[in-house]
């Protein structure tokens, strides 16, 4: 029987991305899959974009009563406040494999319902590389907000950093930030300095690219990766820059890159931190200077430590939503080859490894 993919509507506030774009959904149907789309009221993609391709659209939230053999696919977490057992096989970013807050509660829902989690974050090819990720657009958006924060403090002082909104494309985002940067540079008489950790990865490359497209001089874009962080933190070099964009993906503990003590340094220039990785409750968080996430409605958390000047921290866990269509198109296209392998899932390593990891995490949770 052909696999049945059921795209559930996202419920996270301000989330406009999708795991299955209309183009990819149609390709799956053309390859014999059954695809059901929930009504996407908050998505950057209209339901009509699916129906005009002949796809079936059903009311949002009806995945709970989907056929037992349907794969329920989405991006972000399942609706909050629901602790019912999960009976289906789910494909999404669950954020529970690195012992984040509430990780056992999430896994217990699958255990109680005899369901399965195939976590998008841990789908890897034979070379151990993730088959699909939002990293590039996360870094691109993170650099945009970091630089915009720097301009905001120069132009608007202590005023609250305003709500941010998604953009239709990269060019619109660049133009928006560039306009304010121009005025800030006239006042500051210089370009900002940005330090990017994890600069060689997908996420870091997106951050670097945004800076380049803003025509920030190469010497003002400080690129750090494994070689530069090998000695172990904290790194006083970070506070010598205006903006710090963290793009490091961690699965094991390391010495923190930045602590509250560095914020009190009298020569600190750092005014904005963007933690793109944003594992706020991850015990391995390399930036333990904050303990709560931010959002599109309230993008920046102001950190005050002793007599040190305030520091802005952006910790939005769905940054690519700043560019929802472009980010979704890249991610969904990259995921497509693996989705096609669901037709022979038991012989597709990307899926068998994901299921084995799920079982391993159940054991670690004592379930």
The residues annotated with a catalytic role in the active site are: 76, 95
Check residue 8 and report its DSSP letter.
Answer: P
Check residue 193 and report its DSSP letter.
Answer: -
3-state secondary structure of 179: helix
Strand order across the 71-73 sheet: 56-58, 34-38, 4-7, 71-73, 89-92, 116-119
364 contacts: CB under 8 Å, gap ≥ 6: none
Return d(Cα 133, Cα 334) in angstroms, integer: 8
**Listed residue (214, 222, 217, 216) closest to 173, CA to CA:** 214
CA 201 remoteness from chain centre: 14
**Listed residue (41, 56, 60, 47) closest to 21, CA to CA:** 47
**Listed residue (346, 41, 314, 322) closest to 169, CA to CA:** 322
**Listed residue (89, 42, 45) closest to 63, CA to CA:** 89
What secondary structure does DSSP assign to 36-93, as a single string? EEE--TTSSS-HHHHHTTT-EEE-TTGGGGS-TT-EEE-SSPPPTT------SEEEE-
- Give yes or no for a contact between 194 and 224, defined as CB atoms under 8 angstroms apart: no
Which residue is associated with the tokens 């950790």? 197
Residue 171: is it exposed, middle or buried by C-beta count within 10 angstroms (0-12/13-18/19+)? Answer: exposed
Provide the 10 A C-beta neighbour count for residue 284.
16
CA neighbours closer than 13 Å in the CB half-sphere of residue 46? 5
Return d(Cα 11, Cα 60) in angstroms, integer: 9
């Amino acid at each position: 029987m052909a696999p049945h993919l059921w795209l559930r509507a996202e419920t996270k506030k301000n989330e406009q991305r999708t795991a299955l774009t209309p183009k990819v959904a149609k390709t799956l149907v053309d390859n014999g899959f059954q695809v059901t789309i929930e009504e996407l009221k908050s998505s950057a993609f209209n339901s009509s974009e699916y129906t005009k391709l002949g796809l079936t659209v059903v009311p949002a939230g009806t995945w709970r009563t989907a056929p037992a053999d349907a794969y329920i696919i989405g991006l972000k977490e399942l609706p909050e406040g629901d602790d019912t057992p999960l009976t289906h096989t789910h494909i999404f970013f669950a954020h529970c494999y690195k012992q984040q807050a509430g990780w056992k509660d999430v896994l217990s829902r699958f255990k109680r319902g005899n369901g399965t989690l195939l976590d998008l974050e841990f789908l890897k090819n034979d070379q151990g590389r993730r088959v699909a990720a939002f990293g590039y657009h996360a870094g691109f958006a993170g650099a945009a907000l970091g630089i915009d924060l720097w301009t905001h403090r120069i132009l608007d002082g202590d005023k609250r950093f305003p709500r941010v909104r998604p953009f239709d494309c990269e060019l619109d985002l660049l133009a928006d930030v560039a306009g304010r940067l121009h005025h800030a540079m006239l006042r500051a008489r210089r370009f900002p300095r940005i330090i990017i950790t994890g600069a060689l990865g997908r996420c870091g490359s997106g951050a670097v690219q945004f800076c380049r497209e803003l025509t920030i001089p190469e010497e003002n874009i400080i690129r750090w990766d494994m070689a530069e962080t090998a000695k172990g933190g904290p790194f006083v070099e970070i506070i010598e820059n205006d903006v710090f964009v963290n793009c490091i993906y961690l699965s094991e503990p390391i010495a923190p890159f930045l602590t509250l003590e560095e914020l009190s340094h009298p020569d600190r220039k750092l005014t904005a931190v963007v933690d793109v990785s944003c594992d706020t409750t991850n015990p391995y968080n390399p930036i333990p200077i904050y303990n709560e996430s931010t959002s599109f409605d309230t993008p920046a958390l102001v950190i005050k430590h002793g007599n040190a000047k305030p520091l802005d921290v952006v910790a939005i866990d769905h940054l690519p939503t700043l560019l929802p269509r472009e980010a979704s198109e890249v991610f969904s296209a990259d995921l497509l080859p693996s989705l096609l392998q669901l037709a022979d899932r038991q012989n597709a390593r990307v899926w068998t490894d994901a299921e084995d990891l799920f079982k391993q995490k159940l054991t670690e949770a004592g379930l």
